[in-house]
Amino acid sequence: MNDPNQVALDALLQAVRLAPENIALADHLAKTLLQMSRAEEAAQVYRDALHHHPGNTQLQLGLADSYRRANRLSHALAILETLVAEKNPPAEALLLHARVLHGQGETRSAINQYKDAIDADPDLSDAAFESLLGLNFESESDESAQRTPASWLDDVDEAGFDQQDIDDESFADLETPSIKFDDVGGMTDVKEDIRVKIIYPLQHAEMFAAYGKKVGGGILMYGPPGCGKTMLARATAGEIDAGFLSIGISDVLDMWVGNSEKNLHNLFQQARRNRPCVVFFDEVDALGASRSDMRRSSGRHLINQFLSELDGVETDNDGVLFLAATNAPWHLDSAFRRPGRFDRIIFVPPPDAEARIEILKLALAGKPTEKINLEKLAAKTADFSGADLNSVVDTAVETKLKEAVKTGLPKPITTGDLMSAVKRCRPSTGEWFSTARNHALYSNEGGAYDPILDYLKIKR
């Protein structure tokens, strides 16, 4: 029962594996995946290709589009903001930026960006998108260009959600992760914060009560992509044998589409029924986007309900630990940061040299290697994220495999193999820091982003 689509896809995958530096092939594979609504996988294909061709515009656009379709809007934005800031930005980048801005409820900026895109390349005009932006109804006033829940619905439909998929009982799969803090390299400070702030209160509830110490509230992690936020959230659950519920922004959007407060309540109830339980909100900025029109629309309602569930107003949240992560803390509604909510905000930087050694060690575990000079590798991989380090190892493994297939002689991986893989990879955190730097320099209220300035060694 071979599905012909799958057969074609497998052939493409194979081709890309053999020629990972071929841009056209990678692009074709990713586009095929996008057609099959497999946006996360498409994003992975683009990320891999970008390792071979850092900064390639076509690939960056593809990656941004994949993120958009996977509803990872802040990731898409991070790439697009850099592309459109260039001197003569490609028209496709402007159009895509407009779509993402629209997805975030920034209709007015979306319209401006769309107009720029069409000015640059009239062939890009898109009637369906214009109607979403409220552009093609001449009789309507400017006001009508405001985003409405209905226009979001269209957007969500386009992203492949189906209202009928909504399950009234529960949204997220309850996992019981087996990874623990030790499986996550470095991140010593963040681990310590998680222990003190949420694990100890859970394990020593009576002691905290005896001293009248109020418990509650969660931890918000922010930082560049691929540096272990999601992994650490999962490991927190593993560390204390708790259940793990991961809530992506798409789940929350589904709730809005379903227009059902009951659903959101059920989700928190699911966590409360399964205590101890770690609830992880990924890309929480998209839910509380302060820039978005959600403030004014029914989305505001959803945020308020979310906050009161978090506060445990009607039911208590004992035994439920809340973690959240974002790449774009500056988009987060400040109501999320009040005491008792995500009041502990932690910067998760790229791993330092020591952590890089640990991550490389973890990535190489179980693979045939000679004695590897990890210190030397760590010294050459400043600014690499954990994910980047993993792909360095992957790249070295692939090269080795190709040789082994050709010669029929499998050989262990050497430091030299890894060093040449490092040369072919580029740290992916640079883009994030170029955006973050501006926020830290120009909207650093109360020194919230001092850790970013410190990391960048900018005096304050």
Ligand X SMILES: Nc1ncnc2c1ncn2[C@@H]1O[C@H](COP(=O)(O)OP(=O)(O)OP(=O)(O)O)[C@@H](O)[C@H]1O
Residues within the interface to ligand X (CB under 6 A): 184-187, 225-231, 325, 327, 351, 359, 362, 386-387, 390
Torsion angle (degrees, nearest 10) of CA 11, 15, 17, 21 = -150
Residue 359 interaction partner, one of Mg ion, ligand X, none, beta carbon < 5-8 Å per kind:
ligand X
Of 147 and 229, which has the nearer Cβ to Mg ion?
229
Number of chain positions touching Mg ion (CB under 5 A): 2
Of 249 and 264, which has the nearer Cβ to Mg ion?
249
Binding range to Mg ion, per CB under 5 A, among 50-58, 112-120, 222-230, 245-253: 222-230
Q: How far is the CB of 282 from Mg ion (least distance, A)?
A: 6
Residue 299 interaction partner, one of Mg ion, ligand X, none, beta carbon < 5-8 Å per kind:
none
Q: How far is the CB of 186 from ligand X (least distance, A)?
A: 5
Q: How far is the CB of 228 from Mg ion (least distance, A)?
A: 8
Long-range contact set of residues 179-182: C-beta below 8 Å, sequence gap at least 24? 179/231, 179/234, 179/235, 179/238, 180/235, 180/238, 180/239, 181/232, 181/235, 181/236, 181/239
Q: How far is the CB of 189 from ligand X (least distance, A)?
A: 12
Of 95 and 332, which has the nearer Cβ to ligand X?
332
* Residue 58 within binding range of Mg ion, rule CB under 5 A: no
- Contact residue for Mg ion among 230, 274, 290, 415 (CB under 5 A): 230
Of 103 and 225, which has the nearer Cβ to ligand X?
225
Of 166 and 387, which has the nearer Cβ to ligand X?
387
Of 248 and 451, which has the nearer Cβ to Mg ion?
248
Residue 451 interaction partner, one of ligand X, Mg ion, none, beta carbon < 5-8 Å per kind:
none
d(CA 197, CA 208): 11
d(CA 128, CA 125): 9
Question: Directed axis angle between helix 91-103 and helix 73-84, to 10°?
Answer: 140
Q: 244 with 174: CB under 8 angstroms?
A: yes
- Tokens describing residue 15: 């081709």
Long-range contact set of residues 160-168: C-beta below 8 Å, sequence gap at least 24? 160/37, 160/69, 161/250, 161/253, 161/254, 161/257, 163/257, 163/258, 165/254, 166/254, 166/255, 166/257, 166/258, 166/260, 166/263, 168/260, 168/262, 168/263, 168/266
Instruction: Report which residue's Cβ sits closest to ligand X.
Output: 386
Residue ranges that bind Mg ion, judged by CB under 5 A: 229-230
